[in-house]
Amino acid sequence: MGDPAGMVEIWRGAFLESVHAGHAVVCDASGQIVQSWGDPDAVILPRSACKMIQALPLVESGAAEAAGLTDEHLALACASHQGAAFHTDRVRRWLAGLGLSDADLRCGPQEPGDLAARDALIRACEHPCQYHNNCSGKHAGFLTLARHFGAGPDYIDAAHPVQLAVREAFESATGLPSPGHAIDGCSAPNFATTLHGFARAMAFFASGDDRTVRGKAARRLVKAMTAHPDLVAGEGRACTELMRAMDGRVAIKTGAEAVFAAIIPELQFGVAVKISDGTTRASECALASILVGLGVLDPDHPATLRRRNAPIRNRRDIVTGYIRPAEGAF
């Protein structure tokens, strides 16, 4: 892996206190690199930033149509949600419609990120369940696809027909054979690729058309994400707030360990970001800065300013510094 580039700085008063370095690629519909930072050939695990790729077989196989899935379902299939009632109620109904329940999920329980949902569980002396897992929508999609295939219940096994379909879609979209996979936080395989490959996949989603089944499926998933940014993440989250700020023109998706992706249909560009130290504040700032530079995100929108050139406040609400793009980086 080549050297990462300085992308985000933390200033305290007049002092540069920290620097976040990483890699990023902007790719066009032909697969060519438009801009890059660091090493485009750096191999990464895209984590949850690639959920739209993992959802491709759900749509292109006909499973989504056969199950009567709406854009809300597909947004949840691409989501890392907060576990709010708004999210979990929809996942419950989705699985109930398949004759399935929480016990059929393989993602594991997770305390909800939504405070109201968390506090409701505490007051009721109840434990979180798998519905609350931020990946429960993706797993509901996997179960729907497994049912369509007539396959067994262990859909997270890398040799299961669901994951074989996901791997084929992943390698097709990235244009590269994956060097392997690791197990994600939700227990599903997460396939590795390069930053360039991941950006190429996002450009495929940005330029998909109705001439192929896969292109049509990609377009539908992007439409679902941009129509329902609240389902893709949740209130206060960068994915939701920045997609709203761009009025549905761009789909974005975060992943663990500071991965971020963007799909820009009007430019037919895909963007992939990975901050080397895994810090989310830096990946949000870097992605916002790239989107501002590409002219699709207003630099003065409140959602942008919360992540780029954002003030850092202490416990007395005194501004002590800023998180900002590295000078000359973007």
Of residues 320, 272, 282, the one with CA closest to residue 47? 272
Of residues 46, 24, 47, the one with CA closest to residue 37? 24
- For the cut 80, the answer to whether the pLDDT of residue 1 exceeds it is no
Q: Any residues with CB less than 8 A from the CB of 197 and at least 6 apart, and which?
A: 174, 175, 176
Which residue is associated with the tokens 């179960």?
143
Q: What is the rounded average pLDDT of the residues 218-238?
A: 97
Tens digit of pLDDT for each residue in 248-264? 999 999 999 999 999 99
Q: What is the rounded average pLDDT of the residues 144-165?
A: 98
324 in helix, strand or coil? strand
Tens digit of pLDDT for each residue in 84-140? 999 999 999 999 999 999 999 999 999 999 999 999 999 999 999 999 999 999 999
pLDDT at res. 292:
98
Whole-model pTM? 0.96
pLDDT at res. 228:
98
Tens digit of pLDDT for each residue in 312-323? 999 999 999 999
Full set of structural domains in the chain with CATH: 25-275 (3.40.710)
Distance linking the first and last C-alpha atoms of the chain: 21
- For the cut 90, the answer to whether the pLDDT of residue 2 exceeds it is no
Using CB atoms within 10 Å of the CB of residue 149, give its burial: 0 to 12 exposed, 13 to 18 middle, 19+ buried: middle
Tens digit of pLDDT for each residue in 30-84? 999 999 999 999 999 999 999 999 999 999 999 999 999 999 999 999 999 999 9
Using CB atoms within 10 Å of the CB of residue 14, give its burial: 0 to 12 exposed, 13 to 18 middle, 19+ buried: exposed
Tens digit of pLDDT for each residue in 169-204? 999 999 999 999 999 999 999 999 999 999 999 999
